[in-house]
Amino acid sequence: MNTQITQNPNIYKTDAQFPQNTSDDEIDLRELFAVIWRGKWLIIAITAIFTIGAVVYAIMQPNIYKSEALLAPASEEQGGGLSALASQFGGLASLAGVNLSSKKGVDKTELAIEVLKSRHFISEFILKHDIMPDLMAAKKWDRESDKIIYDEDDYLFETNTWIRDVKAPFKPEPSMQEAYRVFSKMIAVNSAKDTGMVTISIEHVSPTIAKQWVTWLIQDINKVMKERDVTEAQRSTEFLNRQIALTNVADIKTVLYKLIEEQAKTIMFAEVRDEYVFKTIDPAIAPEEKAKPKRVLIGILGLILGGMLGFILVLIRHFSKK
């Protein structure tokens, strides 16, 4: 009996630990709220600093305007003629050294988009239209005069002089590689897979310049692709004429003459169409409202980030002391 009496208190003592742990958890939670309450002024101060900083940053950012145009791929009349010739006279043409393979190559629209985004095309575009100052030194846009205000620490508009203070390998006058990187961030070319429509957009501090650049881009890419096809057709015609002079087989000559006719069609279509690759469905306009920055969103993000950092610092300071 004495043994049982001695063991029972130990059992009760072990069971009593569970409510004690629950009580400890409640105390820890209360302590956490107490720590946060004691550090409320630090949290408020950090949140206010981050919020004010975010608002100041958002206000200092210039308005960016986005102009875009909707384009449709132009029809390709030449493809059907060459495919028909390939199916009828592919064997005879190969005897004359002419390949009429019907395998589909790169789509002309996809090729034009890649050319449009290429370093060579953009560099030629910048040089042709002399847009380096508007690209690299534009600070903000004056709505009243519709003129660009340039950063005087980088560029003097009156003397057309670059005075940037940069480290090697960069020079005061921006290189074409720098200009290409900046321009690549301003331009966006998107193709809808379901409809094939292409959208070209430019973001700039001036809505007028954004519109003008989109218009120039469409004109230049159509011109470049037209010149490429015309040059290729002219070279093909010269080659086919040489092949005609080298063969005496009437059937082969017939095929070669038909190929020359197809090349002549290519040149004709190129000459009569200004919109050679892309047809403008919805032209670019000068937008009235800015596209960015989203100043309200920047302020809210600063508020959230400051509040989170304040809570973390208060908790770290408390637990490091313990």
Give the pLDDT confidence score for residue 190 in this predicted structure. Answer: 93
Token code pair at residue 78: 């030449």
Task: Please state, in angstroms and rounded to a whole number, the distance separating the CA atoms of residues 66 and 287.
Answer: 7
Q: Each residue of 170-204: pLDDT tens digit? A: 899 999 999 999 999 999 999 988 888 999 999 99
Which pTM value belongs to this model? 0.76
Residues 84-103: tens digit of each pLDDT: 444 444 444 454 445 544 44
Per DSSP, the three-state class of 37 is helix
Give the H/E segment covering residue 89.
helix 78-95
Share of the chain above pLDDT 70, in %: 81
Could you tell me the two tokens for 136? 């690299």
Ordered DSSP codes for 58-78: HHHSPPBEEEEEEEEEPP-SH
How high is the pLDDT of residue 96? 46
When pLDDT is cut at 50, 70 and 90, the band that residue 35 belongs to is: confident
The C-alpha atoms of residue 33 and residue 40 are separated, in whole angstroms, by 10
Range in 45-54, 94-103, 230-239 the model is least confident about: 94-103
DSSP string, 162-202: E-----TT--SSPPHHHHHHHHHHHEEEEE-TTT--EEEEE
E strands, 60-150, where?
65-73, 138-142, 147-150
- pLDDT (mean) for 199-210: 96
The answer to whether residue 307 scores a pLDDT higher than 80 is yes
Q: Give phi and psi for 188, each to the nearest 5.
A: -140, 130
Dig out the tokens for 248 from the structure. 């005496």
Mean per-residue pLDDT, 309-322: 84
Q: How many CB atoms are closer than 10 A to CB 112? A: 25
- CA separation for the pair 213, 204 (Å, rounded): 10
Q: What is the pLDDT of residue 66?
A: 96
In DSSP terms, 187 is beta-bridged to: 202
Domain ranges of the chain: 2-60+296-321, 65-291
What is residue 224's predicted lDDT score, i.e. its pLDDT? Answer: 94
> Contacts for 254-260 with beta carbons within 8 Å, 24 or more apart?
254/89, 255/85, 255/89, 255/92, 255/93, 255/96, 255/98, 256/93, 256/96, 256/98, 258/85, 258/89, 259/85, 259/93, 259/98, 259/100
Q: Answer for the pair 77, 269: CB distance below 8 angstroms, yes or no.
A: yes
